[in-house]
Structure 1
């Protein structure tokens, strides 16, 4: 039998729901929006919904299923993001996955002293530059707050500091439409104008409805502004099973989908075809501690189901992985991050956030944890390449040449392919004696040293003209 010399490629895959369950979840989502509806008081959005076919009873809006399905059809199945340089680097479509850090942590863990402290604007710069240096991260977020900046302008200062110190696409959140407008204008200056921005948006806005099924006016304002200006928008509720959503996983998934898709309806009514990213932060209320768990296995299970719903709808997805309930960069943190990241990649979770810094229930950012999770993500990406099968990789000729009892160390085939193995800068494979002679450095010490080394990285600086324009903008922020 002859061999096909074409490459046979298979991407490792994971499914947590089947096709019949996807249909049931979709039908249940439509039922929630038709029967229960959403609470919304935003008059322009209500007017859009009514004109589109929805019904209103006070502040309750009920959306018929055909409106939801029409919005799904109009929403783009592909969203491409770019660096501030214009390079198109993130192609959100089908089951592709791109990893990035988390946002809005309140505290920072210093990698030299391991002391926790309030997150400052300098920490924003530090973590942004580190995210720029880490190859596993395809995009960035506004990782922490800025306790040293007046709260009225802190969201814009954070966004500026991040964009100056990281060239990668930025996902940001902010308090109101004025802030979105200011951050958008900064992005236009950095990328060279509206024409360049539309080719490869370098920012994405993150917004949240309130579970269960509530939209507050500032979030709707931002949603409509982003739609009108073609700023990619993530509409991302955070339902908590047994707290703000049903205790059953299927019920939480249905509610989460209804919350995200109701925003899609408003978004597409405001501007059909505007870029939209679906998803939800679905986790559990931990009954032992009453905390919103970031490390629960169920988080990955429900996120995986929603990723499959996004693939069914052919809408880009905002996923979650790499978060942990651990207080330190320890074994628990590594185990929870590894489980979540591999699960997300194998399902295909789109724009996967939290892969670096959401520790201690979303409270703490740690540069060391960023470096650890980057290494995990690099291993996951390597794993997801699968096993290429070609005449060259099947290696029949070299197997025959070496024959029984031989070895492959000096063969050209080995020299051509041995670098396909991934070698970590962080994880150690030496035997004990050689490990001792090399300094007997435990994982924690290696991680600290590698982190401090990587923190020396700085991206290419912006031009003086761009900096001057940003300074002028900042001076006018209220």
Structure 2
């Protein structure tokens, strides 16, 4: 029929800013970095920046446009992540999206009792294993804070617990470079050494400048260490409209981009070509409650704009979706998560975090919410496949064969293709009488049952000698 490949397969896309607006935001970002600059106090970083051509005046660093654009050119446009078993499973490039859970929740909501308690290390194991069981989450994070272990080594114990209970790539954050070093050593042990790690890194470090436009010394040290070792780095500010960034969305985007790119400059000066992931958690301060909103529609709008900025720069992106300000896994939680996930996928938001457990504006992790959001991600994945148009899918011969008044139930074409339809174990479609006969289970009951079933999963255990080595490492931390 003379169709081209583009006619056969078309991916749905969302654009919230035009090419001209992207150019305006970029030029404004350069203006902020040149004229306002960022606050950095780290002596070595100041020396490196001054030597490269930045204007350093005390702790204020003003970065010329050419230096920013040179860093963008040097940074890789593609990063491939891998599981600890060696599978290359995340390809951060162009507008692809890969979904994963959140990090650092302080509370845990038990799916059996729905009671809320402090997040402890046992919950880390539980949520990591649940992430491992959910195939549409391609990577994992250190979901909670582990309130039951010593604070000085909690970040490393959390990472170890995730490593033992989930084989997927891990995005982690920690307090200092010693913690990164120990986590990196665990990752090298589990994946088989430096060569295997460099081919497909199994960990990604998450670091934050402080909005507006400030870097504390530990954050700079982590940026530099990751650059030196080739550990993929997310440099991810969290500007809040009306509080720590301008109230206008364009102003927040400019500041956010300046904050992320300023870290890129330091990163690429330390090691040109080291893997870097651009992004920002751009949201609003709810002026009625003063909370940092995780469910605001404006968050999704600004995240989509940042994703377009990343694509224009040719940089991998760290996005946000699947979170909620709701206190429970209710209608508000589902509605906020669904809008965010569809927006993120259609914009091409790269490594999309918070897609599972962040409720109550980032404070509580819920396994039930993880399972719900995973089902939403599955639906969005189906949506993003678009509608393939081929001679096979147009089905002209099938329509002709069945003819007027016939049916397709037993046709070979139906048997071949019906499994492309998505079916859910928690969203039911029965008629009312069938639903009553089947037990009249509410959505909440179905979700709870499916969650408890998924929580029975455990990955293949690590070898005993590997566990022994991890024990020895942990003893060294203590």
TM-score range, shorter chain: over 0.9
Residue in structure 2 matched with residue 29 of structure 1 by the alignment: 29
Partner of 2:351: 351
| Pairwise CA distance, 1:379 | 0.4
* Residue 113 (structure 1) aligns with: 113
Contact 1:426 1:443 in 2 (8 A): yes
Indicate how the Cα distance of structure 1 residues 312 and 440 shifts in structure 2: closer, same or farther if over 3 A, else same. Answer: same
| Large movers: runs of 4+ above 6 Å | none
Matching residue of 2:71: 71
Matches within 5 A, 1:74-223: 74-223=74-223
Once residues 397 and 344 of structure 1 are traced to their aligned partners in structure 2, the CA distance between those partners, rounded to angstroms, is 38
1:307 maps onto 2:307 in alignment:
yes
Structure 2 spans left out of the alignment, 5+ residues = none
- In 2, the alpha carbon distance for the partners of 1:364 and 1:418 equals 39
SS in 2 for 1:476: helix
Cα distance in 2 for partners of 1:452, 1:252 equals 41
2:409 corresponding residue in structure 1? 409
Q: Residues of 1 paired with 2:18 and 2:241: CA distance?
A: 22
Which residue matches 2:374? 374
TM-score norm. by structure 2 comes to: 0.99
1:62 pairs with 2:62: yes
Deviations 1:211-242 (A, max 9, x none): 00000000000110000000000000000001
Aligned pairs for 1:378-457 within 5 A: 378-457=378-457
Aligned partners of 2:403 and 2:91: how far apart in 1?
45
Cα distance in 1 between the residues matched to 2:21 and 2:60: 29
Q: Distance in 1 between matches of 2:75 and 2:465?
A: 37
8 Å Cα contact 1:294-1:362 kept in structure 2: yes
Query: Which residue of structure 1 lines up, in the alignment, with residue 275 of structure 2?
Result: 275
Q: Residues 107-132 of structure 1: CA distance to partner in whole angstroms, max 9, x if unpaired? A: 00000011000000000000000000
Q: Is the 8 A contact 1:4 1:391 kept in 2?
A: no
Separation (CA, whole Å) in 2 of partners of 1:236 and 1:433: 51
Deviations 1:355-411 (A, max 9, x none): 001100100000000000000000001110011110000001111111111111111
Map 1:1-16; keep pairs closer than 5 Å.
2-4=1-3, 8-16=8-16
Q: TM-score, normalised by structure 1?
A: 0.99
- Is the Cα–Cα contact under 8 Å of residues 5 and 391 in structure 1 kept in the other structure? no
Task: Provide the residue aligned with 1:243 in structure 2.
Answer: 243
Residue 465 of structure 1 is matched in structure 2 by: 465
Alpha-carbon distance, 1:136 to partner? 1.4
Measure how far apart 1:4 and its partner are.
3.5
After TM superposition, give the deviation of residue 415 of structure 1 in Å.
0.6
SS of residue paired to 1:175: coil
1:227 and 1:97 map into 2 onto residues whose CA distance is 24
Q: Separation in 2 of the partners of 1:77 and 1:154?
A: 33
Distance 1:68 1:114 in 2: 48
Asked if the contact 1:106–1:145 (Cα under 8 Å) also holds between the matched residues in 2, the reply is yes
Q: How does 1:33-52 map to 2 (within 5 A)?
A: 33-52=33-52
Cα deviation 1:287-343 (Å, max 9, x = unaligned): 111110000000000000000000000000000000100000000000000000000
Give distance in 1, aligned partners of 2:273 and 2:49: 17
Match of 2:319 in 1: 319
Partner Cα distance (1:376, 1:229) in 2: 36
CA distance in 2, matches of 1:441, 1:171: 37
Report deviation, 1:5.
8.4
The answer (yes or no) to whether the contact 1:3–1:391 under 8 Å persists in 2 is no
The CA distance in 2 between the partners of 1:220 and 1:444, in whole Å, is 45
CA distance in 2, matches of 1:45, 1:234: 18
Q: What's the CA shift for 1:425?
A: 1.3
Q: How many residues align?
A: 477
**Quick one: distance in 2 between partners of 1:395 and 1:44?**
66
Check the 8 A contact 1:206/1:234 in 2, yes or no: yes
CA displacement 1:88-121 (0-9 Å, x = unmatched): 0000000000000000000000000110000000
**Compared CA separation, residues 412 and 5, structure 1 to 2 (3 A):** farther
Distance apart, 1:3 and its partner CA: 5.0
Deviations 1:404-461 (A, max 9, x none): 1111111111111111101011110000000000000000000000000000000011
